[in-house]
Structure 1
Amino acid sequence: MEFSKGMVRGFCAAFASVSLAIASVVPAVSAEVAPNKGKDSTFRLTIMHTNDTHAHLDNIARRISAITKVRAQKPYSLLLDAGDVFSGTLYFNEFHGLADLEFMNLAGYDAMTLGNHDFDQGTGPLANFIKGAEFPFVDANVDLSKDTNLSDRFHDEITEHPKNGSVYNGMIKVVKGEKIGIFGLTTAETLVISNPGKDVVFQNYIQKAKRAVADLKGKGANKIIALSHLGFDDGGGDNDLTLAKEVEGIDVIVGGHSHTKLDAPVVEQTGSEPTIIVQANEYGKYLGTVDVTFDKNGKVIGHDGKLIDIDQKFNNRFVIPDDPKAAQILETKYKPAVLEKQRTIIGTTTVDLIGGRPDARVRETNLGNLMTDAILAKAKTINPDTLIAIQSGGGIRTSIPAGNINLAHVFELMPFGTSLAIIKLTGAEIKQVLEFSVKDAPKPFGGFLQVSGMKFTYDSRKPAGQRVQSIEVKEDGRHYVPIDRAKIYHVATNTYLVKGGDGFTILAKAYKEGRVSEPGHADWKTFIEYIGDQKNKTVSPTVEGRITDLAN
């Protein structure tokens, strides 16, 4: 946010008041939204929403403070989560979701759906999470009836009387006398990108959504929310845009999975009534809020949605203060173990691992090779057809000296928490990607790509776009062969690049065309696992001619 001098003076005067500070980032009621006037007129519902928090708890006290403030301003509200609480930080590695759960109970969530990563450790830890929840779960297309750990918590029904710590297809929540229908959906990709086990069944999300809408309406709910862990425009075969177009009767889709930052709600107009789609990015950085106005028949006639920036600062101080109780729990019960864990040694390197500026942005480095090898190895466990991995040099933030590697080194190296993505590209498109990578060479560029499973040459003396001279792919895992421009290759990278990060529009185009799978798996965790798989957890990567500038 940019401030004029006058705005800064005014804001400073108000900053002493905590209430006013929070109010500055909590969205006000839209002028188009009338107050609640009773059953025969309009009804306004505020939905607070989170998704893909992935055990990022360092800002949880501010998150809860923001939730409390919204509730105080807008009492006719719901707090919903669209899945993927599990995996992502040391808080999860240490507490397996139960730290997150304590704060979710404290915040007073009304419902949650299951994300793919909530199955990462099988259904045992997930069952512990669900059993301790002081709120219900909804999932219409996941059948848990045969799973040993969850069958006693699963109810294949729409209920008007949901119990905490139980999973239903959907539920009805009464807000100011109005029946609000809520059902959940989880991406079927979970079968191949997580570890749900053979007894968890994923069913057709369109069919199950239609059934859930009909059942909710049959129980008198004419205001219906889909809690979706499908992805906004994800290319894995199911997504929110398709859901909104194909299923009539959904008023609001609260989304997750694709980590999409929707600064304002997206309106899908297919059908007789509009569907509002919202999603709040990732990692608890934002609390999503949307005010939805319904007419007496349950049709959406107005909406106003914004994201509250939980980490916004002014004068180097967080605008939103900590909730005192949440802060005390975090600092005394959970944070000490995480800080201790950061000193954990995860392996050893016999050589200096070279990254950072400018090295990783101008030439092949041994650390770039190590990181891309790790990415490729992980991707192959999910899709064995993956042959290539790429990583931008700007995401290799530092070097690591020879000796022990601890977790603090790893988080300094890759602080952004990006996750794995696998993209389908033709050989011709891969050449375009590499041309963009070396366009500024020999000057440093954050989008300069480190690679695995591939090697290429370029000539930095030639004009940009005409520099790449040869590309070879290690198709059998051992021998390099010339790339086939017409062939489709599976390329492992991260969610930042496939969405156009560093200016890679060719990757963003493929993403929009549905050619990307997002199995998740945080970059730092993939790196740690790869080192752990090496003999004696020791690495000695070298520069081996994967990237050659013929001008040198």
Structure 2
Amino acid sequence: MIKAIRGAGIALLAVFFAVSFSSYPNNVHAENNDSGQAVSFLYFNDGHEIGPVTDKLGTRGGVARIKTLVDSLKGEKIVAFGGDLGGGTLFGGVFKGFPMVEAFNRIPVDIANFGQHDFDAGAANALELVKASRFQWISSNLIGSDGKPFANVPDYLVIEKQGIRIGMIGLTSAMETTTRDEAVQQQDVIESAKKAVDKLKLENTDLIIALTQEPVSDDKALLAAVPEIRVVFTEEEAEDQSFVYEIDDGKRFVFSPQGNMGSIIRLDIRKDQAGNVNLSHEIMKVDETVAEDGELARLAAQYQQKLDEELGKTVAVITGDLPYGDNHESRFKETAIGNWIADAYRNYYGTDIAFANGGGIRASAKKGNFTLKDAKAILPFGNKIVVAEVTGETVLQALENGVSGVDRLAGGFLQVSGLSYTYDADKPAGERIAEANINAQPIKKDAVYKLALSNFMYAGGDNYSMFENAQTVVGPNEALTDFELLAAYASKLKTVDVQTEGRIVVKGFADVTSRHWAHAAVKELTGGGLMSGVGEGRFAPKISLSRGEVQAAASGFLDSSVSIWEEIGLDGTDANAPVSREELALAVKWLYEKKTAKSVPAETKSPFEDDTQISDKMRTAVAGLSKLGILEGRPDNKFMPKENATRAEFALLLWKVAGY
């Protein structure tokens, strides 16, 4: 029966296929000139889309605008791409990176580092991308099965321009989140960096730059471990802005450009007569204000037309929107789209249960006509859906792994079909599954179940190591891809009408687990009714605090309806207006004095470096609460008085005042 269904699905599909930015004023760009020893280093990354991306954040990116900006800069320059030009989106999943290589050849790019998504279609595909490139790839920590650098690319590179010798290394982490392939292996980032830098020391370089694909926290650890590296260009932290981090009093930097090629980081490198290398930087926005290069705009349009022709056929009608979540709900709670996808896997193979990892769901399904393009946008990685026989104990281990990173919105969270489970976010990782049932009965550890899941998870991706001893029923060589199964299931249904139905129950808050710094405060305050979440399983600790939330908490805290904002002389008429950190300090001072009948110490100066930026009216509150140990600053001993206070910060302050 499985073979008959699979054949029907293949035949069906064969028919269808016939920035705002952050920077620092003391490091502004000075216009380059053709004389003297000077070179500009231009860096961008996250090249999943050949054309501009337009969404709720605005318009950004596109190879045609990148080329315009690169061409606009005169003088010596090095153009570097930081990684991820294949996979991750519909365009990347369909074309597997080759259009981007074609475009980068024309810009031209000089050097590129690998991102993990460059291996989404396998190491063999990545090797073909390297072969098609007229620019130089490097990697200091990815090796092939022969123990040599992957694709025989150099582990470091030195480029000399205008008498300035610039050494570069390339580092890639998170390879466990892409297709598992023995033809490429990730080695330790820091140890690999040390080895590459040791070689660069013999090259008489003036500056060492690291191109990385890893979180900024890891970049900072890299700089601490390898002092010879002066500049790190890393992966994107956000889609709507770029980030610049000054390290060691501004002597070293970490640069993170905007996602989807939304910005270019320009680093101007100058060498004076004494041999000193001076750096300045600029963030160049790649938005609608930048004219498109005609040749590359035509190339992008050709590929877009090809994409539309191949994937534009309607397969079903959806009765209502199926969002995957503006707040990544598919990574911590049940979603209708997650149910639909997992159901598609289970229905096709007739298995007992099915898993769909939330991180693999990359787009929403809109009400109305549903096309293959929509299916591919939702599941762009092209993972094969395999079938295995697993024990109940293995299922429970997988569920525990799935909820172990909910506070980080880790992609391994499991959307499910054929089973239900409850997890408690207040418990430590490894002990969170409170209940798990199949057919309304508790999972039996020694029972054997047929499970449909992606080959990505089955091979150990997202730390799913528990399937090592499972019995394979349908392997990747005979399996269909995830988006093909979703399209086939949609076509079978004709009308798609799915809802959440209690398959996953969340206890506590997934974004404020037991390891969060405000966990105790949030648990006590929400348990006592002084604060509440913003939906199932979500407290939103980083969201800006509103005046209405402070008023509601204050009323419950003091059992009084008096207006706290009138009492402290601030405007509280707009309940949705955000509260700044210095305003919150004044409010908490008032709450403390009302609750304890004690006065906050009348200090006139706070211990924070930015004390002078605190308004005179608020400084006493900040200083006094700080002396009491109630109020703390943010990193680098700064209070950041004008920034919006967060819900977690308020929860912690109120908790301290209450004396829980």
TM-score tier, shorter chain, comes to 0.5 to 0.7
**Aligned residue for 2:161?**
175
Distance 2:81 2:246 in 1: 20
Whether contact under 8 Å (1:356, 1:396) holds in the other structure is: yes
Deviation at 1:135, TM superposition (A): 1.0
Residues 295 and 527 from structure 1, CA distance in 2 versus in 1: closer, same or farther, beyond 3 angstroms? farther
Q: 2:312 aligned to 343, 363, 369, which one?
A: 343
**Aligned residue for 2:235?**
256
Say whether residues 1:221 and 2:205 are aligned partners. yes
Distance 1:428 1:54 in 2: 26
Alignment of 1:177-216 (within 5 A): 177-187=163-173, 189-190=174-175, 192-195=176-179, 197-216=181-200
**Aligned residue for 1:98?**
98
Secondary structure of the corresponding residue to residue 216 of structure 2: coil
Deviation at 1:219, TM superposition (A): 1.0
**Aligned residue for 1:115?**
115
Residues 259 and 134 from structure 1, CA distance in 2 versus in 1: closer, same or farther, beyond 3 angstroms? farther
Matched letter for residue 544 of structure 1:
E
Normalized per residue, which structure has more strand? 1
Q: Highest Rg: 1 or 2?
A: 2
Deviation at 1:531, TM superposition (A): 1.4
Residues 474 and 178 from structure 1, CA distance in 2 versus in 1: closer, same or farther, beyond 3 angstroms? same
Alignment of 1:63-142 (within 5 A): 63-142=63-142
Whether contact under 8 Å (1:454, 1:472) holds in the other structure is: no
Secondary structure of the corresponding residue to residue 126 of structure 2: helix
Say whether residues 1:289 and 2:289 are aligned partners. no
The superposition leaves residues 91-142 of structure 1 with CA deviations (integer Å, 9 ceiling, x where unpaired) of 3344332211110000111100111111122222212211121111110111
**Aligned residue for 1:331?**
301
Higher relative contact order (CA 8 A, sep 6+): 1
**Aligned residue for 1:48?**
42
The superposition leaves residues 238-275 of structure 1 with CA deviations (integer Å, 9 ceiling, x where unpaired) of x21211221111121111275676634212229xx932
Residues 472 and 212 from structure 1, CA distance in 2 versus in 1: closer, same or farther, beyond 3 angstroms? closer
**Aligned residue for 1:441?**
none
Percent of residue pairs bearing the same amino acid type: 20
Alignment of 1:2-13 (within 5 A): none
Matched letter for residue 528 of structure 1:
F
Distance 1:412 1:44 in 2: 43
Secondary structure of the corresponding residue to residue 156 of structure 2: strand
Secondary structure of the corresponding residue to residue 283 of structure 1: coil
Residues 409 and 171 from structure 1, CA distance in 2 versus in 1: closer, same or farther, beyond 3 angstroms? closer
Matched letter for residue 282 of structure 2:
G
Residues 262 and 247 from structure 1, CA distance in 2 versus in 1: closer, same or farther, beyond 3 angstroms? farther
Q: 1:230 aligned to 187, 193, 214, which one?
A: 214
The superposition leaves residues 62-96 of structure 1 with CA deviations (integer Å, 9 ceiling, x where unpaired) of 54444444444342321111111111344334433
**Aligned residue for 1:315?**
none
Whether contact under 8 Å (2:44, 2:80) holds in the other structure is: yes
Matched letter for residue 105 of structure 1:
N
Deviation at 1:339, TM superposition (A): 1.3
Q: 1:407 aligned to 372, 379, 398, which one?
A: 372
Deviation at 1:289, TM superposition (A): 2.4
Residues 133 and 472 from structure 1, CA distance in 2 versus in 1: closer, same or farther, beyond 3 angstroms? closer
Q: How many residues align?
A: 407
Residues 93 and 390 from structure 1, CA distance in 2 versus in 1: closer, same or farther, beyond 3 angstroms? closer
Residues 355 and 319 from structure 1, CA distance in 2 versus in 1: closer, same or farther, beyond 3 angstroms? same
Whether contact under 8 Å (2:43, 2:233) holds in the other structure is: yes
Taking structure 2 as the reference length, the TM-score comes to: 0.50
Residues 255 and 477 from structure 1, CA distance in 2 versus in 1: closer, same or farther, beyond 3 angstroms? farther
Distance 1:289 1:307 in 2: 7
**Aligned residue for 1:370?**
340
Normalized per residue, which structure has more helix? 2
Matched letter for residue 323 of structure 1:
D
Whether contact under 8 Å (2:338, 2:356) holds in the other structure is: no
Residues 194 and 531 from structure 1, CA distance in 2 versus in 1: closer, same or farther, beyond 3 angstroms? same
Deviation at 1:57, TM superposition (A): 3.1
**Aligned residue for 2:599?**
none
Distance 2:66 2:335 in 1: 44
**Aligned residue for 2:587?**
none
Alignment of 1:400-549 (within 5 A): 400=368, 405-410=370-375, 475=436, 528=483, 531=486, 538=493, 541=498, 543-546=500-503
Whether contact under 8 Å (2:113, 2:171) holds in the other structure is: yes
Deviation at 1:395, TM superposition (A): 7.4
**Aligned residue for 2:257?**
280
